[in-house]
Amino acid sequence: MMGFDWNWQLDGWIVAAGILCAVASSLLGCFLLLRRMSLLGDAISHAVLPGLAGAFLISGSRSSIWMFVGAVIVGVLTALLSDFIHNRGQVDEGASMGVVFTTLFASGLLMIVVAADRVDLDPGCVLYGAIEQTPLDKWDFPWLGIAVPRVVVVLSIVTLVNALFVGLFFKELKISTFDAALATASGFSASLIHYALMTLVAVTAVACFESVGNILVVAMLIVPPATAYLLTNRLRTMVILSCLIAAVSAWGGHVMAIVIPSWFGFRSTTTAGMMSVAAGCAFMLAFLFAPNQGLLPRLVRQQWLRWSILADDVLTLLYRIEESARIGVSHSASADGSTFAVTAMPLTQTVPWVAETLLTNRFAVKWAIRYLSWRGRVEPAKANEPGSESAESSEAASVLPKLTAVGRREAETIVRSHRLWEQYLVTKVDVAEERLHAKADRFEHFTDREMQEQLDEQTDSPSIDPHGRPIPNPDQD
Amino acid sequence: MDPIALSVDDLTVAYHRKPVIWDVEFEIPQGKLVGVVGPNGAGKSTLLKAIMDLIPKASGRVEVFGKPYHQSLHRVGYVPQRESVDWDFPVDALDVVTMGLYRRVGWCLPIRKKHRDAAREALARVGIADLAHRQISQLSGGQQQRTFLARALVQDADLYLMDEPLAAVDAATEAAIVELLKQMQADGKTAVVIHHDLQSVPEYFDHVVLLNMRVVASGRTEDVFTNENLQKTYGGRLTLLDEATEAMRRRERGI
Amino acid sequence: MSEHLWRVLSLQDHNTRVVIFGTAILGFAAGLVGCLTLLRRRALVGDALAHAALPGIAGAFLIATAMGGEGKSLPILLAGATVSGLFGIVSILLIRKMTRIKEDAALGIILSVYFGLGVALLGIVTQMNRGNAAGLESFIYGKTATMTAGDARLIAVASAICVLICIALLKEFKLLCFDEAFAGARGYPVVLLDAVLMSVVVVVTIVGLQAVGLVLVIALLVIPAASARFWTDRLVVMMVIASVLGMTGSFVGAAVSAMLPRLPSGAMIVLAAGFGFLVSFLIGTRRGVLVRLWRRRKLNESIDHQHLLRELYEMFELDPSRVSVPYEELLERRSWSRKRLRRMLEQASREGWITENVSKMEFALTDRGETEAKRLTRRHRLWELYLIRYADIAPQRVDRDADAIEHVLEPEIVAELETLLDNELGKTRMPDDPHADGVAS
């Protein structure tokens, strides 16, 4: 099925380790992101280096447990020290973090060099890990019948602990993230939660470092939660989504690490690096396509809004032409001075004239008419007049269509909104006369039924607008 | 008829497409002390920032002494809100005042003695000449406000835009600032001052702009500063207008 | 060993000279630029930038090698690093502007994703069978020892340009960092200025990469600047101190690493700078923690001292006939612990304010002490009067409020208010104790 060298015994375990690490990190990362402490994760995962080296120098053994404890202590210490320098020294938060983690990292490098005589501790291993070697160091589980890599066992435990922490203290985490003061007031210590979180971040960073390196920890702490944050507004969904994204990017990253270099004739490259690139790709996809926050959907929505406003405008203009024809006749019969609203209408209304009136181009107007007739709001005007069939096609196309009954009703609703708004703006807001039309023109497209009723009520149900034109009411026809 | 110092026409400003001020229109004659009054969130600071092109306008026109802002910015002095800067910044009061002269000093050129002297003079005018070399975090709130005022004074502008210069200052500072404003007015300057204390408006200002998202009224204090107008200003927004703009925002963001 | 030390310190060795010269200049420039980024609250931008440079380095190497060129030439690698660093900055700005993700997370995303890409590219580079690719990893940890004279010249030129830009635009940058809105209102092109500042940071970071490595270059930008803030309240002085600290740190680190070649120079430079930070943090004359503690202690001591003298004065004032005051009675006057009172009394008698009758545990004021006590009491009562008259404070609360204010207010304000009240009361008269309700009169 797969067009490359894939070995479940090897790659399966690598992917498993990657997924576990990714999920464990992104579980905590969601809360770091919302607390604006993402970079503390970065600082902690860099700073565990001296803990590892120090524990080795003191205990003299490469036993995992000692190094684990040492690294976690230094990790938590990073958070504490940064806080201390920030508060006591009045140093900028970012700067105090920078001071602490770089100094710790440097001392870690130094210790590794000092210890180099006695042990092979590669600093490169800390940065980008050796996930490819995951399957080499296995523990046998006779009762399961398989041998599981040590790393996978450790990471499973850490993931479980993180999941339990997030699951059991979800509500506390939520409150203390949203409002630390409220959390403390309602009876549990926000700072306790804070340091528990920091400890777990340190534990996760340490557990992941030897298998996947700290770069993947940092990537998985920040990128999947950020991606999920673009996709949803609910915390619970965000946590679940970010775990999914993390798992998928871990798997995809490994595949990419094997496949992409082969296109250029190389062997596979660093899996950990590719996993964070995969997470980055996921973020980019969300950045572009996320339904609410994404760049393209937003552009499309704006375009669609502009488009539907134009269609509305064409519809109402058709209604106004009809109306002026109606009123114009009745008025010219009685008094000729009061027909100011209609005098602007030329005798033959064509598409170019509409385009000019609405400050747009003919092409857009034609499309709007086509859209309206597709929705059954208008119908071609001259279809039933035999005389016009001989006219040139270009002339025929630029003649305006007629409103259907549905279209007229819809147009009346919009015109009603418009004129009610004008009335409201004049009576309640004192908007200057010359700007009245422009302001109402904007609002009419966003006025729903409820708002219309309120407008009607607040302006005492007028029957004519400030310009003296009737306010139609489709419900009373 | 006095010439117009500042005219604002059909100004609308939106943050994230939600209008903060809508259809704002007023004119301010030269040589007036103008108080801009309105409830919290009425868009008072936004108005000043929009006048100075610091935030994008959705629509509208602003003219300062008959020209667009960027052509007459040398005639405008700005006093931002005191909370808007980091008072831990490693500069002293004199440095801050000298900042008002940077444009006159010119790009890349160092500050010379005459500029420092001008800054000292401005500090003396606001009554804190002896604090010139004190680090700004060690100034009291009132002294910080006076420093900001001195920075605007040193520009020798004709129109001053001040964002809450009287907020949270001690009584002595308030009296000194008001005295200074009167003095500036006597010199023919115009000052537009955002003010929060309704009690003192008639006493301090001869011209008022009542703002709540839009201008409720603007004009001479004795004409405009009436109970009825205040009720309109502070009696809540026009809900329908708010609802419509909110609907607009939601549709445009597609939520 | 000592001979070796001498050779390093006297810069006899050509290679050592190059390395120390190069890193010291870099430290100088980074310290200077770091001050501006720190004050602009962008301390960690350098971190993201340095990580974002890695794919550019690896990519430049791959492309140059594929095109048959010499992949390891420093200008090509640095050009690649600059391009991808700038891409990183643009991505950060895009994320911040177009989404609701905050600055710190945006930095983290760029940092980790770009670095991941760089590591992946490095994984390919190592397969290229050229044998020289190994040197690329030195960008991660830094390998100063391999610096050539050409590299040092490049560092010197780039650093000099950055320093010159910062000096030329000093007052514009100062305004930008302090009050962006005011700068905009005065018509400064804020976005352009910001871009220039960020470009300077990019150049320093990229050049610093090969000296200390990408994880640690951030240290050169952050640590000297943060240390300098403890010593001064003036921007120019802070920049000078930061530059000197950066230069010294680099010099010391590089020199140590030259003497003990096994120690990695990048780490040594950062540790030297970190030591400088620790010292500044503790004893920096302006904001150092110990200095502040010491100052607070001094203040408390002087407050205690004034309270003691005032209590003594008031006790003698109540009963002018008494000669001395017993310890126990003094202890009841305020909530002093025995130990604290004991210490205060010892100090006061050592300084000649009071005389002590040790056997009977009784105390009296000396002449000098009485004058001082009278002055203090007078000042305190003036304050109380002022508060009662002008601040509408109930007499029961006055004592505590006057206590709180008179110790922390500026001397010039105290003087001003005292003249104000002096004019009403006359120069020498001791105002009555407002709590005494006529008892003292």
My answer on whether A285 and A305 are in the same domain is no
Burial of A341 (0-12, 13-18, 19+ CB in 10 A): middle
Q: What tens digit of pLDDT does each residue of A152-193 get? A: 888 899 999 999 999 998 988 888 888 877 777 777 778 888
Q: Among C31, C32, C266, C262, which residue's Cα sits nearest to residue A103?
A: C266
- Within 13 Å of residue C100, how many CA atoms lie on the same side as its CB? 14
My answer on whether A402 and A379 are in the same domain is yes
CATH of domain C2-285: 1.10.3470.10
Q: What tens digit of pLDDT does each residue of C293-320 get? A: 998 888 888 888 888 888 888 888 888 8
The reply to whether B145 falls in a domain is yes
Rounded Cα distance between C113 and C102, Å, is 17
The reported pLDDT for the residue numbered C236 is 93
Which fold, C293-425? Arc Repressor Mutant, subunit A (1.10.10)
Q: Domain count for chain B, please give it.
A: 1
The reported pLDDT for the residue numbered A163 is 95
My answer on whether A180 and A316 are in the same domain is no
Residues of chain C in Cβ contact (below 8 Å) with chain B: 39, 41, 168-169, 171-172, 174-175, 177-179, 181-182, 184-188, 229, 232-235, 237-238, 412
The reported pLDDT for the residue numbered C169 is 94
Q: What tens digit of pLDDT does each residue of A189-205 get? A: 788 888 899 999 999 98
The two tokens of residue C421 are 């009240």
The reported pLDDT for the residue numbered B120 is 94
Cβ contact C363:C355 at 8 Å: yes
Exposure string (b/e) for B181-203, b if CB count within 10 Å is 16 or more?
beebbeeebbbbbbbbeeeebee
pLDDT band with cut points at 50, 70 and 90 for residue A387: very low
Average pLDDT of chain A is 80
Burial of B23 (0-12, 13-18, 19+ CB in 10 A): buried
The range of the structural domain enclosing residue B95 comes to: 85-157
Q: Identify all chain C residues contacting A272, using CB atoms and an 8 Å cutoff.
A: 116, 119
Rounded Cα distance between B251 and A448, Å, is 12
Q: What tens digit of pLDDT does each residue of C116-166 get? A: 999 888 888 877 765 555 567 777 777 666 778 888 888 899 999 999 999
pLDDT band with cut points at 50, 70 and 90 for residue A338: very low
The reported pLDDT for the residue numbered C362 is 80
My answer on whether A378 and A413 are in the same domain is yes
CB contacts under 8 A, A 78-117 vs C, are 85, 88-92, 94-99, 102-103, 105-107, 109-110, 113
**Where exactly does CATH 1.10.3470.10 map onto chain C?**
2-285
Rounded Cα distance between C400 and C395, Å, is 10
My answer on whether A34 and A54 are in the same domain is yes
Rounded Cα distance between B119 and B101, Å, is 8
Interchain proximity C117–A280, CB inside 8 Å: yes
The reply to whether B62 falls in a domain is no
My answer on whether A210 and A180 are in the same domain is yes
Interchain proximity C178–B91, CB inside 8 Å: yes
Rounded Cα distance between B3 and C42, Å, is 46
The reply to whether A135 falls in a domain is yes
Interchain proximity A455–B240, CB inside 8 Å: yes
pLDDT band with cut points at 50, 70 and 90 for residue C425: low
Q: Which residue of C has its CA nearest to B93?
A: C234
CB contacts under 8 A, C 294-313 vs A, are none
Rounded Cα distance between C435 and A34, Å, is 55
The reply to whether B246 falls in a domain is no
Q: Domain count for chain A, please give it.
A: 2
pLDDT band with cut points at 50, 70 and 90 for residue C273: very high
CATH label of the domain that carries residue A410: 1.10.10.10
Q: Identify all chain B residues contacting C174, using CB atoms and an 8 Å cutoff.
A: 91, 95, 99
The reported pLDDT for the residue numbered A146 is 76
Average pLDDT of chain B is 87
pLDDT at C393 over 70: no
CB contacts under 8 A, C 63-122 vs A, are 95, 98-102, 104-105, 107-109, 111-122
Highest mean pLDDT among A292-296, A448-452, B115-119, C406-410: B115-119
My answer on whether A270 and A230 are in the same domain is yes
pLDDT band with cut points at 50, 70 and 90 for residue C172: very high
pLDDT at C60 over 70: yes
More confidently predicted of C79 and A461: C79
Characterize the bridge pairing of strands B33-37 and B190-194: parallel
Burial of C11 (0-12, 13-18, 19+ CB in 10 A): middle
Rounded Cα distance between C77 and C266, Å, is 19
Q: What tens digit of pLDDT does each residue of A432-457 get? A: 777 777 777 778 888 777 888 888 88
My answer on whether A194 and A304 are in the same domain is no
More confidently predicted of B29 and C259: B29
Q: Which residue of C has its CA nearest to A129?
A: C119
All partners of chain B with 3 or more CB pairs under 8 angstroms = A, C
Q: What tens digit of pLDDT does each residue of B164-176 get? A: 999 888 878 888 8
Per residue of chain B (255 residues), give pLDDT as tens: 578 899 998 888 877 656 678 888 899 999 999 999 988 878 899 999 999 988 888 888 899 999 999 898 889 999 999 888 999 899 999 999 999 999 888 888 888 999 999 999 999 999 898 889 988 988 888 889 999 999 999 998 999 999 999 988 887 888 889 999 999 999 999 999 999 888 899 999 999 999 988 888 899 999 999 888 888 888 766 667 777 777 777 776 654
User: Which among C40, C99, C171 is the top mutation candidate for probing chain B, defined by the most B β-carbons within 10 Å of its own β-carbon?
Assistant: C171
My answer on whether A263 and A373 are in the same domain is no
CB contacts under 8 A, C 121-180 vs A, are 121-124, 127, 137, 140-141
The reported pLDDT for the residue numbered C238 is 95
pLDDT at A44 over 70: yes
My answer on whether A279 and A306 are in the same domain is no
The average pLDDT across A12-35 equals 91
The two tokens of residue C392 are 């509408």
The two tokens of residue A69 are 């404890």
pLDDT band with cut points at 50, 70 and 90 for residue C197: very high
The reported pLDDT for the residue numbered A238 is 94
Q: Which residue of C has its CA nearest to B99?
A: C175
pLDDT at C216 over 60: yes
Beta bridge partners of A175: none
Rounded Cα distance between C406 and C415, Å, is 11
The average pLDDT across C6-33 equals 84
The average pLDDT across A137-150 equals 75
DSSP C361-380: TEEEE-HHHHHHHHHHHHHH
Interchain proximity A432–B253, CB inside 8 Å: no
More confidently predicted of A427 and C100: C100
Average pLDDT of chain C is 83
The reported pLDDT for the residue numbered A339 is 35
More confidently predicted of A445 and A60: A445
Alpha helices of C319-394 — where are they, by DSSP H? 327-333, 338-350, 367-390
pLDDT at C434 over 90: no
**Where exactly does CATH 1.10.10.10 map onto chain C?**
293-425
Q: Which residue of A has its CA nearest to B217?
A: A430
The range of the structural domain enclosing residue A240 comes to: 8-293
pLDDT band with cut points at 50, 70 and 90 for residue A288: very high
Q: Among C202, C206, C88, C221, which residue's Cα sits nearest to residue C154?
A: C206
Least confident of A292-301, A391-400, A408-417, C336-345: A391-400
Burial of A273 (0-12, 13-18, 19+ CB in 10 A): buried
Distances (CA, A) of A146 to A137, A140, C62, C173: 13, 6, 42, 64
